[in-house]
Amino acid sequence: MTTELIFMNGYGLYVWSAFLFTLISFTSLYVITKIQYTKERNKFMSKFGALDSKKAEVARSQTINKEILSSSQSI
């Protein structure tokens, strides 16, 4: 039973290598995305983390910020 699962009538090498490639690809994609997210979050928090209400209002009034906020709210 176990050997049938591993060898799969001669296709086991292809199936398990494809499965392993997919697993490694997804894992590396997840790790890279998580690292990039952490870097961007830290950059954002260092720049905007301690905004008081006056600075936050100025940031909301800027044109580029309005465009970003309007497009993200429609998602």
Helix extents (H) in 8-52: 12-48
pTM above 0.95, yes or no: no
pLDDT for 75: 47
Cα separation, 64 vs 41, in Å, equals 19
| pLDDT, position 55 | 75
For 10, which DSSP code? G
pLDDT, residue 21, reads 98
Is the pLDDT reported for residue 40 higher than 80? yes
71 — pLDDT class (breaks 50, 70, 90):
low
Could you give the CA distance from residue 36 to residue 30 in angstroms, rounded to a whole number? 10
